[in-house]
Structure 1
Amino acid sequence: MLGASISKNSLLLGVFALVTAGVLALTNVSTRDRIAQAERAAAEKALYELVPASRVDNDLLHDTLPTPVSMLPALGIDTPEAIHRARNNGQVIAVIMPAVAPDGYSGDIRIIVGVNRDGSIAGVRALAHKETPGLGDKVDLAKSDWILGFNGKSLGEPPAEKWAVKKDGGVFDQFTGATITPRAVTAQVKRVLQQVAKHRNLLFDIPAEAGEDNGE
């Protein structure tokens, strides 16, 4: 009888384990799908904040090309990531570049930079950082409109030597009580613009004969 009881309990435990595993698996799949949908929605929102849907006729999220390996060090990223391209009537009118400013006050600051075909900035957004709340976190649009100060700027406007915060002789504001964060972001945005200018033919689908750089 004892053996029968043990067998019965073992069977019940086995069934319970199977049911629990099944529930966890279903929960994981469901949660994973919801997370994926949320991440897609967040990515789309960020992209279309930089290049509004009214300007494009393609899917910004899926019209991409991998970051050329030669650009990785300047962009501050270790492996190729997606560069998103905005099109209108087939022509690439803007690119959205991934980048990381490695010298924030509390570490890396991950950003995306939208650059128009004419080399001007469509917009910049901070995606992730660990900057100090109330100080460095003003890089977030939700905390401050500081990052909107890049809109319309280019390598010629302001001049290269003025691509710095005012404390360093540049034209960009720093945060009250915090200079390191805006300094890091400003320097990285400038580097992104330099890389876009260098690889303009590749990024904007310009035939090689129309310029010198083929993006290789």
Structure 2
Amino acid sequence: MVLTLLIITLVASVALGYVYQFTKVPIELAQITKVNNAIRAVVPAFDNDPNAEVYKAVVGTDSLNVYPAKKGGVVVGLAVETFTEKGYGGRFELIVGFLPDGTINDIAVISHHETPGLGDKIDKRKSNFSLQFKGKNPKDFKMMVKKDGGDVDAITASTISSRAFCDAVTRAYEAVMKGNVK
């Protein structure tokens, strides 16, 4: 019995390792494609390859990827890949697009584990929550929910997700405005 269990476990382990190696590259390519699509969605039209010019900006103890979007060699926007660990479901990731003056052009959700029907409304496919940030400059727009003295209307019954979204966007803004390159 022990020998049979050992053989089954060994075969399953080898199969799992093979499947992992086989799917690793397609999964990485799918993630890169998702990020590239999000960059195109959050900044004005561009003609460069933002991935070729990506740099790291330091925010606190973390570094965020900043993708410069250029048209004719002139920066038309910056897409910042940001995250927060403060979501109700844990970590979620966003791409925040900024115009050169720091105004938020648009925001795309890359990944999240928020509660379906509540916190998942951070995604603009589910609600208009993220649209209230569009066209706002965090210099003048308080990036906190109204309950905390800010300008953001929280998602009903999802204040934690709303606060976390504000945290991620604020981190992206800090990355753009501080310009701390790592």
Q: What is the CA–CA distance in structure 1 between the aligned matches of 2:54 and 2:159, rounded to whole Å?
A: 34
Larger radius of gyration: 1
Superposition pairs of residues 17-96 of structure 1, within 5 angstroms: 31-52=23-44, 55-68=45-58, 71-73=59-61, 77=62, 80-96=63-79
Which residue of the partner structure matches residue 7 of structure 1?
Answer: none
Gaps of 5+ in 1: 1-20, 203-214
Judge which range, 175-184 or 149-158, deviates more: 149-158
Out of 107, 115, 128, which is 1:124 matched to? Answer: 107
Q: What is the CA–CA distance in structure 2 between the aligned matches of 1:116 and 1:135, rounded to whole Å?
A: 30
Contact 2:43 2:76 in 1 (8 A): no
Listed one character per residue, the Cα deviations across residues 168-214 of structure 1 (whole Å, up to 9, x for unaligned) are: 22221111111111112113312322332222xx7xxxxxxxxxxxx
Q: What is the CA–CA distance in structure 1 between the aligned matches of 2:42 and 2:169, rounded to whole Å?
A: 14
TM-fit CA distance, 1:28: 6.9
| Residue 195, structure 1, aligned to residue 175, structure 2 | yes
Listed one character per residue, the Cα deviations across residues 54-96 of structure 1 (whole Å, up to 9, x for unaligned) are: x21112333211334xx253xxx4xx45321101121222211
Which residue of the partner structure matches residue 156 of structure 1?
Answer: 139
TM-score, length of structure 2 as denominator length: 0.77
Out of 107, 111, 115, which is 2:94 matched to? Answer: 111
SS of aligned partner of 1:62: helix
Cα distance change on mapping 1:44 and 1:167 into 2, 3 Å = same
TM-fit CA distance, 1:125: 1.9
TM-score, length of structure 1 as denominator length: 0.67
SS of aligned partner of 1:156: coil
Contact 2:155 2:162 in 1 (8 A): yes
Q: What is the CA–CA distance in structure 1 between the aligned matches of 2:107 and 2:115, rounded to whole Å?
A: 20
Q: What is the CA–CA distance in structure 2 between the aligned matches of 1:105 and 1:31, rounded to whole Å?
A: 30
| Residue 139, structure 1, aligned to residue 122, structure 2 | yes
SS of aligned partner of 1:96: strand
TM-fit CA distance, 1:47: 0.9
Contact 2:57 2:175 in 1 (8 A): no
| Residue 181, structure 1, aligned to residue 161, structure 2 | yes
Cα distance change on mapping 1:174 and 1:92 into 2, 3 Å = same
Contact 1:43 1:61 in 2 (8 A): no
SS of aligned partner of 2:107: strand
Cα distance change on mapping 1:99 and 1:28 into 2, 3 Å = closer
TM-fit CA distance, 1:50: 0.4
